[in-house]
Chain A
Amino acid sequence: MKRRDFLRVTLAVGAAASLPVLRPRRASADKPAAWPAEGFDAETLTDAMKRTVGKSDVPLSPKVKLNVPKTAENGAVVPVTVEVDSPMTAADYIETLYLYVDNNPRPLASEFHFTPASGKAYVQQRLKMGGTSNVRAVAKTNKGQLMATAQEVRVTIAGCG
């Protein structure tokens, strides 16, 4: 297959996959909803936030604790730890945690959906960063309240191909 044909095929498949489809929001913790393609396809932070939490300005809160290095030598593996203060009871828990890298070509990095059985709204993972950027965490409670925090990571060697 020629490179041009290959590109055409992959682009066509990509376009079909990104067609907007109506999809029910996550109905309950027992039935995980479909992977939120519209959020992951967003190319700006504003779009990514609007498509995931419905708005692009979320109040900062000291309850959202984000631990990232101030400087990352290797943007391909930036350790990110997030914990959100919450009793994590059936009446009051963090339902979803969104992680964004503001300046990445696709700013939404991951979504975590917790349950009261999670015990804590806590995750640790490694993210790729295309360059120096804020890493942003937005938490949503089971009552729909949003809170956020952000911290800049200076990247010496970019981690996106």
Chain B
Amino acid sequence: MAQNIGNPLISMPASAKKGEVIEVHCLIMHPMTTGLHKNEQGKLVGGSTPAHFVKTVDVTFNDKPVMNADWGIAVSTNPFLAFTMRAEQSGTLKIVWKDNKGGIWSVESKLTVA
């Protein structure tokens, strides 16, 4: 089955005042399958669809860490994430998603601090 995957999107202000806390929204297409299903007895077992999910999201600004996330199988399909960052200087925000099968996607956005 063809699967929509990747295509990371980011939404954040293009400019901010120094010291302002800005909110960043991001989204990536990903199946986020759990690898679990219920058998006839209602017991959870390994399913025929293997687990395929984003495990980490790393956020940096000018290569310095802002936030990073570790995710399990409970995160919804096509995961949306909102977080904040304190704007201290102009530069580039980068978000990198990595999944459990070696998939890596990233997106960047520039911020001008006045």
Chain A residue, CB-CB nearest to B45 = A7
0/1 interface trace, chain B 61-99, chain A, CB 8 Å (1 if under): 100111111111111110111111110100000000000
| Residue on A nearest B33 in the bound complex, by CB | A161
From A56-64, A124-132, A138-146, A147-155, the one touching the partner chain is: A124-132
Q: A32, B58: Cβ atoms under 8 Å? A: yes
* Nearest-neighbor residue (CB-CB) of A110 within chain B: B71
Q: Per-residue CB proximity of A96-111 to B under 8 Å, as 1/0?
A: 0000010011101111
Which residues of the other chain, B, contact A117 by a CB distance below 8 angstroms?
61, 64-66, 85-86, 88
Main secondary structure of the interface of A (DSSP, over half): mixed
Inter-subunit contact A127/B74 (CB<8 Å)? yes
B65 and A128 within 8 A (CB): no
Interface of B is mostly: strand
Tell me which residues across on chain A come within 8 A of B110, comparing CB atoms. Answer: none
Residue numbers in A under 8 Å from B72 (CB-CB): 40, 106, 108-110
Q: Please give, as numbers and ranges, the residues of chain A lying within 8 Å of B73 by CB-CB distance.
A: 40, 106, 128
Find residues 69-84 in chain A having any chain B CB closer than 8 Å to their own CB: 76-78, 81
Evaluate contact between B81 and A76: CB separation under 8 angstroms: no
Is residue B5 contacting chain A, with contact meaning CB distance below 8 A?
Answer: no
Chain B residues closer than 8 Å to A6, beta-carbon distance: 48
Most buried by A among B33, B47, B71, B82: B71
Residue of A whose beta carbon sits closest to that of B19: A119
- B-facing residues in A1-24 (Cβ within 8 Å): 3, 6-7, 10-11, 14
Nearest CB in chain B: distance from A43 CB, A? 9
Interface residues of B (CB under 8 A from A): 21-23, 33-38, 44, 46-50, 55-56, 58, 61, 64-77, 79-86, 88
